[in-house]
Structure formats: structure tokens, C-alpha cells
């Protein structure tokens, strides 16, 4: 009888260890975001960040002067900027104040490209 109880306890212990390891692996996988390597690009004047479709994950910037602002447009060149294709805009009233925005794990899709129009803002984006 003792051998049977010992065998049951050993099997139960092995089962608990297996469940613990499987749960840990699942938790680690769910906390890890698998994304391609992102590129960083900084512009200090108006221009095109990306001349083709891209996914924007985050942006940051700071005001190089008072009352600085910017706009990100879904187009592949500066001449195509229009109110119909603006995707994001922001600004700061105080010189050297900063702005950050995270577009989440899925990012924001720019089908044609990412073009920046800025007055006084230094803007950095993370994209793929």
C-alpha cells in the first residue's frame, strides 16, 4: 500500500511540475510582442519620412520654438499634403516641451507614405 501511495504522490508531483512549466511558457509567449525590426527616422523640417506604404507605431517630438506644431500626412511627397489625407497632428505652445504618442501593437497604417509638415517641431517616428 505504501508503494502505491508513493507512486500516486510522485505522479501527482510530476503532473504539477508539468502544468507549472506549461503555464509559465504560455504566459511568457503572451507577454512577448513579435514585430519586425522598426526603423527610426527624425525630421526637423517639413519633408517625407517614408515614400511608400508604412505602419506607424510611435512618434515623439519636441518644440524647437514656442507655438510649434506638426502634421503627419498619408502621402508620398510634400506636394500631395491636403486636409483630406492628414492622419495625425500635434503641437506644443512652450519651447522645449515634448509630445509622445504610441499607436499600439497594431500601429496606424499609412497606405501611401508618411509625410511631415512641421513648424518648429522636431519629430521622430518608429515605423515598419
Question: HEC states along 94-126?
Answer: CCCCEEEEECCCCCEEECCCEEEEEEEEEEEEE
For the segment 51-68, the average pLDDT, to the nearest whole number, is 90
Look at residue 45 and tell me whether its pLDDT is greater than 80. Answer: yes
Question: What is the chain's mean pLDDT, rounded?
Answer: 79
Per DSSP, helices labelled H in the chain are: 2-31
For residue 60, list its beta bridge partners.
100, 124
Q: Phi then psi for 29, rounded to 5 degrees?
A: -65, -40
The fraction of the chain above a pLDDT of 70, given in percent, is 72
111: Cβ contacts below 8 Å, ≥ 6 apart: 53, 74
- Kindly report the pTM of this predicted structure: 0.67
- Could you give the CA distance from residue 100 to residue 1 in angstroms, rounded to a whole number? 67
Q: Does residue 110 carry a pLDDT above 90?
A: yes
Residue 63 pLDDT level (bands cut at 50, 70, 90): very high
Amino acid at each position: 500500500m505504501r508503494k502505491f501511495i508513493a507512486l500516486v504522490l510522485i505522479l501527482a508531483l510530476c503532473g504539477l511540475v508539468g502544468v507549472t512549466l506549461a503555464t509559465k511558457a504560455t504566459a511568457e509567449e503572451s507577454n512577448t510582442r513579435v514585430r519586425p525590426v522598426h526603423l527610426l527616422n527624425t525630421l526637423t523640417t517639413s519633408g517625407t519620412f517614408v515614400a511608400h506604404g508604412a505602419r506607424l507605431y510611435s512618434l515623439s517630438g519636441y518644440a524647437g520654438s514656442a507655438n510649434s506644431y506638426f502634421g503627419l500626412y498619408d502621402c508620398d511627397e510634400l506636394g500631395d499634403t491636403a486636409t483630406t489625407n492628414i492622419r495625425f497632428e500635434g503641437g506644443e505652445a512652450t519651447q522645449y516641451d515634448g509630445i509622445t504618442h504610441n499607436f499600439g501593437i497594431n500601429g496606424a497604417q499609412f497606405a501611401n507614405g508618411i509625410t511631415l509638415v512641421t513648424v518648429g517641431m522636431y519629430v521622430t517616428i518608429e515605423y515598419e
